Amino acid sequence: MQFLAAAWEQIYGLLVEDGQIAIGTLAAFIACAAVSAAAGRVGDAALQVSLRNSAGPLLFVLLMTLLLVNLYTTGRKALAKRSRVG
């Protein structure tokens, strides 16, 4: 039973170590999926393709922003913790 719990923890830990990163990654993906889906409702074919293709660079920008914001808050937390410890 303990082994199964450790295995589950390992599998879960494979993907989720920091909740903000995991949820943020999914949210970024959903936002880009929404852009891609919205492109399908645009009448102009050229605009449709251009809007759909913008989902790729958008995904990149959202994820890199998420990474920077997460690391910034982690750094601030580390600094605050060190101040408390002395």
Partner 1 sequence: MSASLFTLVVAALPAFLASVVEWVEAFTIVLAVGNTRGWRSPIWGVVGALTTLAVIVGVFGTPLIVYQDEVKQSFHIVVGILLLLFGMRWLRKAILRFAGIIALHDEELIYQREVAELREQGKTVERWDNIGFWFSYKAVLLEGLEVAFIVIALGAQGGIALQAAVFGALAAFVVVVIAGSLLHKPLAFVPENFMKFVVGAMLTTFGIFWGAEGLLVDWAAGDGTLLFILGGVLLTSFVAVRMLAQIAPQGARVATRNI
**Interface positions, 30-69, toward partner 1 (CB under 8 A):** 32-33, 36, 49, 52-53, 55-56, 59-60, 63-64, 66-68
Residue 31 contacts residue 58 (beta carbons within 8 Å): yes
Amino acid sitting at position 49: V
C-alpha to C-alpha distance for 15 and 68, rounded to whole angstroms: 19
Residue from 27, 38, 47, 78 that binds partner 1 (CB under 8 A)? 78
Residue from 1, 4, 14, 45 that binds partner 1 (CB under 8 A)? 14
Q: In angstroms, give the least distance from the CB of 85 to partner 1.
A: 6
- Which residues 6+ apart lie within 8 Å of 29 measured at CB? 59
